[in-house]
Structure 1
Amino acid sequence: MTTIFARRLFNGEQWLSNQEVTFSGSQIASIVATQTPSNTATDVVEILAPGFIDVHVNGGGGTLFNHTPTLSALEKIVQSHAQFGTVAMMPTLISDDYTIMSEAHDAVNEALSQKMGGVLGLHYEGPYLNPVRKGVHNEYQLRQPNEDILATLLDVSRRGKLMVTLAPEQVRAGFIEWLVSEKAIVCIGHSAATYEQAMAAVNSGARGFTHLFNAMTPLTSREPGVVGAALQTGKPTWCGLIADGHHVHPASMRVAIAAKGCEHIMLVTDAIQSVGSAETEMAFLGKKVRRSDGKVTTEDGTLAGSDLDMATAVRNTIFQTGRTPAEALQMASLRPAEFLDIDDQFGRIKPDYRASLVALSEDYQVQKTWIDGKVAWC
């Protein structure tokens, strides 16, 4: 039994003062108001909030999932991000060949079978992307889907969550509907689609936009592009936002949040192996990348994922966009939980929810992280 006394508790929806949260095993048992810590309190913290959920994590702690698509790599990546308040993630595989996709699929399936804390499923970012908007993805890996092969790589959705980022203009009619029928969450990204093509994908079941503004057609006066489709509110879709100040200017972040609403913006990192590592130069998909000034770039200056962690994304959202701490915390926890349809387990501090929590200082620095009731970092 663990009991945490929080001077301030953000339960996912509102702020409360002087609360004790008790959990046994992986689930929260009770939340009780009390002016002083009880004799059973194991921790006294300034702020307690739902732990962060990151749906776009390529690596961490010196490990890139593409380079090492193994169970031990997943453990290291989860551990590396726990120090920044991340309690659950979608390990992301950047466009690669089917052998690497299969190895990643097997590793995630094994993690889900073992109920590894922190791993929710698998995110295939590609390879069905548009070379015109490839970003750092290797063009020779981009291709049309082979559904017979792909069908063997989708059963992650039977145990956990599955995301597929694709360019809708690059796949055949009916492909998105097929993925959705296979319980995949389809996201639009690395796309040169028109507004009409992007909206057709949404109408076919796509419900996410991968790293808003980046590697997609922009919003202009006569062609709203993918960004214009992303900011529509007629159908429930969610936009991933890399709030590092490099991928998206703070003014653009403010515009996007105002247009879309905090309810459908989720903070993501797109982190590579530099997060939680002291490395400044590293290999990345056959290239060399350098970490400097809070970003990672190839030798030609192309952004190669990010050096962002979720706690920094929360602070940046508060201090660079003027959103309230409650809104920023929701964009890091409740909103991605709603996107993944796991908000009955994550994103709130309530009885029977997962005891996956983060303790923060008054300036939103991470003090301690629990994943499924176990201390993951302190």
Structure 2
Amino acid sequence: MLISSDLTYIEGALLPGFALETDGETVTALRPLRPGETGNRHVRLLAPGLTDLQVNGGGGVLVNSSPTPEGLRAIRAAHLGLGTAALLPTVITDAPEVLEAAADAVIATKGEPGLLGLHIEGPHIAPARKGTHDAAHIRPLDQRSMAVLKHLRAAEIPVLLTLAPEVNDPALMREAAALGVVLSAGHSMATAEEARTGIKNGVTMFTHLFNAMPQMQSRAPGMIAAAILSDCFVGLIADGIHVDWDALRVALAARPRADRSFLVSDAMPTVGGPDHFNLYGQDIHVDAKGRLVNAEGNLAGAHVSLLDCVLRLHRNTGLPLAYALAMATDIPRRAMRLPPLRLAEGLPLSDVLALNGTDFAKVAL
């Protein structure tokens, strides 16, 4: 079968006149259309499936509540149906046993399609910027967590660790980075100077810029300014709720390298699932404005897919669609030192993103 498209995402650009050949299960070739060819099927856009580095849950399943191989597979299946081909299941601040169970589950599913590794967001964060994380489990980076990191890296599992650099032992941070763990600064009260010291101690990324960190002031630029002006990779939640579109545009325009900013969904179980779930014994629900909130009305993760973020970013900021796609495909994979996902022979057809119509709606192939 030949699937032609108006636009095909190839190495950072949207190019016309290409088509996929497929046997119905995998891509067998990507090539230019020949004169007069129309294909068996036509779509508006073809791209590799998206890569999301921050997925707390999906399909009604939360990593923290179901840190099992079955739980991870259910989350992956929910996001695959929404255009995300690969993800980092994200375990947030919890008891050490929950982190250890999540690590064991990731190791048990090593090599399964779409499950890239583990994002450990907390518990080594600043209490003052905990967000919805449980304060009872917040603690500095310690030998028990280091044992988990060593266990994961010995199994060659990609690991992303979000921590507050100002409250953790620099020697342990450097040791974790030497293991190959990607350190990301987040849920932090760090000043600009403390953030830059964190970079010297192994930080190469910042988690959901603007959220769970002090806001930038003229005399206290803080971690936000340090992140924007650095060469580090920076994650952003582009749902129009976590960050105002103008703030997002300013941040992207000020970055010294355009290829160091990427999108995450910060998705919770409501994505591809019911409109509510339980976190730390609290009911979390989607409100009338589409925000995911707890009983006090505070944000508790996001009710959005990564594809939604891509399209909202493009529509609300005017940034080129090719750039928005790069922020959800190539750039996050580089941030995690992973090879790119390409439209090429052998790629499962389920990992091909096909969009159609003027609204770029996802369609099944």
Fold equivalence (TM over 0.5)? yes
Letter in 2 for 1:67: S
Cα distance, 1:27 vs. partner?
7.5
Q: Deviations over 1:242-284 (max 9, x none)?
A: 111111001111111111253111110111100001x233211
CA deviation string 1:301-321 (max 9, x = no partner): 111011011111011110111
The answer for the alignment partner of 1:197 in structure 2 is: 194
The normalised TM-score by structure 1 is 0.89
1:306 partnered with 2:302: yes
Say if 2:133 is the partner of 1:147.
Answer: no
* Deviation per residue, 1:119-165 (Å, 9 max, x gap): 00000001000000000001001012221453234432333310000
- 2:234 counterpart letter in structure 1: C
The equivalent residue for 2:51 is: 53
1:127 and 2:123 aligned? yes
Q: Does 1:274 align with 2:273?
A: no
Structure 2 equivalent of residue 371 of structure 1? none
User: Whole-Å Cα distance in 1 between the matches of residues 65 and 87 of structure 2?
Assistant: 18
Counterpart residue number, 1:167:
164
Is contact 1:57–1:269 with CA below 8 Å preserved after alignment? yes
The two structures have a TM-score, normalised by structure 2, of: 0.92
1:25-36 pair list within 5 angstroms: 29-35=28-34
Matches within 5 A, 1:192-341: 192-233=189-230, 236-260=231-255, 261-277=257-273, 279-292=274-287, 293-341=289-337
Q: Is residue 99 from structure 1 mapped to residue 97 from structure 2 by the alignment? A: yes
- The whole-number CA distance in structure 1 between the counterparts of 2:205 and 2:173 is 12
Which residue type is aligned with residue 67 of structure 2?
Answer: P
- What is the number of residues matched between the two proteins? 360
The answer as to whether partners of 2:235 and 2:263 remain within 8 angstroms in 1 is yes
Which letter does structure 1 place at the counterpart of 2:140? Answer: Q
- Is this contact kept in 2: 1:101–1:153, CA < 8 A? no
Is the alpha carbon distance of 1:313 and 1:257 closer, same or farther for their aligned partners in structure 2, counting shifts above 3 Å?
same
Corresponding residue of 1:373: none
**Counterpart code for 1:216:** M
The answer on 1:110 being equivalent to 2:108 is yes
Unaligned runs of 5+ in 1: 369-377
Partner Cα distance (2:183, 2:36) in 1: 45
Partner Cα separation in structure 2 for residue 72 and residue 38 of structure 1: 44
Alpha-carbon distance in 1 for matches of 2:186, 2:40: 44
Q: Is the 8 A contact 2:149 2:176 kept in 1?
A: no
Asked whether the equivalents of residues 4 and 22 of structure 1 are also in contact (C-alpha less than 8 Å), the reply is: yes
Are 2:177 and 1:180 equivalent residues in the alignment? yes
Q: Which amino acid aligns with 1:298?
A: N
Unaligned runs of 5+ in 2: none
Instruction: State the percentage of identical aligned residues.
Output: 32
CA 1:53 to 1:63, structure 2 compared with 1: closer, same or farther past 3 Å? same
Partner of 1:349: 343
TM-fit CA distance, 1:217? 2.1
